[in-house]
Structure 1
Amino acid sequence: MTVRVEDDDKKLEQLFKELEYLSSHVILVGVLADDKADTDDEVTVKDYAIWLEFGDREYNVHYPPRPFFREATQTEEARDKIEDKMEEELQQVIDLKKTAKQAMDAVGTYVQGLVQESILDGDWADNAPATIAIKGKNQPLIQTTTLLKSIDYEIKKRSELQT
């Protein structure tokens, strides 16, 4: 009986450690690096992602918004999917089948995939004829796959976030 109590104490201690990790860390998903785009100018992939996301409503660009990130993360359907994944992973942590880091990695990878899927399969406005002539295809958001490959996630301590 004593051994079981000690095991339970160890499990409880481990659970508290994992929950502390969850409460002190966040998952960031998006174009996180400041890599240069496939152009000769100083534009970054992050710049292009913002322009593509918001289109000419917010920025001085000449194409419609293609909100690939918001579609993947902010719609009710997307939020439900992400919430379900988070609940599934949290249960794995509570059951001590995964560490908090492993669970956060799983959620980060999942959301990263949702954003990439949105880029590939979203129902976006067609490219302009001039753009199709340059690209050789009508596939909005895809030219060199740089944006697609730039979608990433990272886990950071809340205390390290800039406000």
Structure 2
Amino acid sequence: MSFTVDVVRRRHVDLSKIQLSLRGPKKVKVGFPSGEADSDNIQKAVWNEFGTRGGASGGGWGGPVPERPFLRNAMRDNKGKYRHGMRASAAKLLTGKTSISVVLAKLGIMAQGDVQESITSLQSPPNSPTTIEIKGSSNPLIDSGEMRGAVTWKVWDGS
């Protein structure tokens, strides 16, 4: 038994359009990209993401700051959503209806919101009673909201 399959293209695909749509930046950075955030917010983010030993090593009001990985949590918890978004954009890229810059910008906006939500919702480990008294709030990652507001994204060409 044998059979034959005919492949009929319904649409002509211009490969030069595809090549053009894939040119440009290759990455999007989310969080506190160099040149986009001030050093105070970067320092707060690092202290909270990785924790500190306290005292002379910095962090908080002299005591250790426990690890509160808001960036890693946001990326891990939303990895499937980002993959789905990239898959959904693949057809538009291949037909030349969008560019990689536009796709990465959309991904950056989405991830920025996820990181900000992670900062807002993280509750563990909780603030110490002393920190709560000083801040007037029990939210571990929000004091003035400045660090949360400084989260941004940047399409990056890799250089």
TM-score interval, normalised by the smaller of the two chains: 0.7 to 0.9
- Are 2:136 and 1:136 equivalent residues in the alignment? yes
1:17 shift after superposition: 0.6
**Structure 1 Cα separation of the partners of residues 92 and 135 of structure 2:** 45
Q: 2-side partners of 1:124 and 1:82: how far apart?
A: 25
Which of 38, 45, 48 pairs up with 2:44? 48
Q: Which runs of 5+ in 2 are unaligned?
A: 1-10
Report the count of equivalent residues: 141
TM-score (norm 2): 0.78
Question: Are the equivalent residues in 2 in contact too, given 1:89–1:107 (CA < 8 A)?
Answer: no
| Aligned-partner Cα distance in 2 for 1:90–1:111 | 18
Could you say which residue in structure 1 is the equivalent of 2:32? 31
Show structure 1 runs of 4+ deviating over 3 A. Answer: 57-61
In structure 1, the gaps of 5 or more residues are: 1-6, 37-43
Judging by fraction of residues, say which structure has more helix.
Answer: 1
Tell me, what secondary structure is at the counterpart of 2:38?
A: coil
| AA matched with 1:17 | L
**Identical counterparts, % of pairs:** 27
Contact 2:21 2:98 in 1 (8 A): no
Aligned to 2:6: none
The answer (yes or no) to whether the contact 2:37–2:150 under 8 Å persists in 1 is no
Letter in 2 for 1:47: Q
Cα offset, 1:49, TM superposition:
0.3
* Higher gyration radius (CA): 2
RMSD over aligned CA atoms reads: 2.2
